[in-house]
């Protein structure tokens, strides 16, 4: 009987280790700065990053809240609130991808320079980043974007990676995820060029 208890305990231990989410214990060396909490994100701005300029660069309005399938009636919405704008972008991208994640929570960290972004990537992975605009880290459920590249197309692309990574139980191949994220970026560029 003791043999079966030992096997049962070992089995439960192995099962709990296999089903536990990834542990993200690596420090990203991101400088602490202003934090903004929204429905879906905790946004951290590196020192020197101006929230107002990010809002302007993002260029999202109430119409994106409607495109996200949400009503403006009874909803507090501020075109000056970075959190509201990013939540609207998240809702819109979720709708386009048909991957609804109503209880999603993640982090967005905005670096002040492309070099700071590269430094964060190097600290996390010990090698150079392929992007000087932004990237998404599944293990930490964190999007990193430079202030210079903080446009709805770039941020939308990275938000799409967050949606895709959190929607599927088994991660899709990197190329598939990149095609889907590229589709969101394309749709946002198409909206930008519409008359």
Q: Is residue 12 part of a domain?
A: no
CA distances, 152 to each of 55, 95, 100 (Å): 10, 16, 19
Domain that holds residue 55: 23-193
Q: Is residue 71 part of a domain?
A: yes
The backbone torsions φ and ψ at residue 61, rounded to the nearest 5 degrees and listed phi first, read: -125, -175
Per-run averaged pLDDT (10 residues), the chain, 195 residues: 65 50 60 90 94 87 55 52 89 92 95 93 89 92 95 95 94 94 91 60
Q: What pLDDT does residue 183 have?
A: 94
Number of domains in the chain: 1
- pTM score: 0.78
Residues 49-58: pLDDT tens digits? 999 899 988 8
Q: Is residue 16 part of a domain?
A: no
Q: Quick one: tokens of 189? A: 């560029």
Q: Is residue 144 part of a domain?
A: yes
Q: How far apart are CA 187 and CA 15, in angstroms?
A: 41
């Amino acid at each position: 009987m003791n043999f079966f208890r030992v096997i049962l305990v070992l089995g439960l231990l192995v099962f709990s280790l296999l089903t536990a989410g990834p542990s993200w214990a690596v420090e990203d060396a991101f400088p602490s700065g202003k934090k903004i909490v929204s429905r879906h994100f905790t946004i951290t701005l590196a020192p020197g990053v101006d929230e107002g300029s990010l809002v302007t660069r993002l260029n999202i309005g109430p119409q994106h809240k409607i495109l996200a399938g949400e009503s403006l009636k009874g909803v507090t919405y501020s075109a000056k609130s970075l959190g509201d704008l990013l939540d609207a972008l998240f809702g819109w991208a979720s709708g386009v991808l048909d991957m609804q994640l109503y209880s999603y929570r993640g982090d967005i960290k905005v670096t002040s320079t492309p070099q700071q972004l590269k430094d964060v990537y190097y600290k996390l992975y010990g090698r150079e980043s392929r992007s000087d605009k932004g990237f998404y880290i599944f293990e930490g459920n964190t999007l990193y974007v430079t202030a210079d590249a903080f446009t709805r197309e770039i941020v939308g692309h990275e938000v799409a990676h967050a949606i895709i990574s959190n929607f599927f139980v088994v991660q899709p191949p990197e190329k598939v995820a990149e095609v889907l994220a590229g589709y969101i970026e394309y749709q946002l560029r198409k909206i930008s060029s519409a008359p």
